Structure 1
Amino acid sequence: MMNSIWFHLLVNHIPIVGTAIGLGIVIVSLLRTNKTVRRVGLIVYIVTGLMAYPANFSGEAAEKVLKGAKGISADQIHVHEEAAQLALTLTSMTVILAMLHLFNMPPSQKLQRYVFSGIVLIGIASLFQLVVTGHEGGAIRRPNLIGPTPLHTVILRSTD
Structure 2
Amino acid sequence: MNQAHWHLLLTHLPIVGALAGLGTLLGGFIFRSEPVKRAAMGIFIFSALLAIPTFLTGEGAEEMVEGLPGVNESLIGQHENVATLFVWILGALGLFSAITLVANMRGMKIQQALSVLTLALAIGTVGLSVQLGKTGGEIRHTEIRGATAQMDGGGEENGGPTVSGQEEDDDDN
Taking structure 1 as the reference length, what is the TM-score of the superposition?
Answer: 0.84
1:125 is displaced (CA, Å) by 0.9
Q: How does 1:53-92 map to 2 (within 5 A)?
A: 53-92=52-91
- Which segments of structure 1 move beyond 3 Å, counting only runs of 4 or more? 105-108
In the aligned structure 2, how far is the partner of 1:84 from the partner of 1:107?
35
Matched residue type, 1:148: A
Q: CA deviation at 1:113?
A: 2.6
1:21–1:44 Cα contact (<8 Å) kept = yes
In structure 1, the residue matched to 2:51 is 52
User: Cα offset for 1:114?
Assistant: 2.7
Q: What residue number does 1:12 align with?
A: 11
Distance 2:70 2:31 in 1: 50
How many residues matched? 148
More helix by share: 1
Larger CA Rg, structure 1 vs 2 = 2
**Which residue of the partner structure matches residue 154 of structure 1?**
none
CA distance in structure 1 between the partners assigned to 2:8 and 2:98 by the alignment:
27
Structure 1 gaps, min length 5: 152-160
Counterpart Cα distance in 2 of 1:33 and 1:23:
15
| Residues 97, 116 of structure 1: 8 Å contact kept | no
Work out the percentage of aligned pairs sharing the same amino acid: 26
TM-score normalized with structure 2 length: 0.78
1:28-87 deviation digits (Å, cap 9, x = unpaired):
111121111111111111112211111111111111222233221110000111111121
The aligned runs of 1:24-35 (5 Å cut-off) are: 24-35=23-34
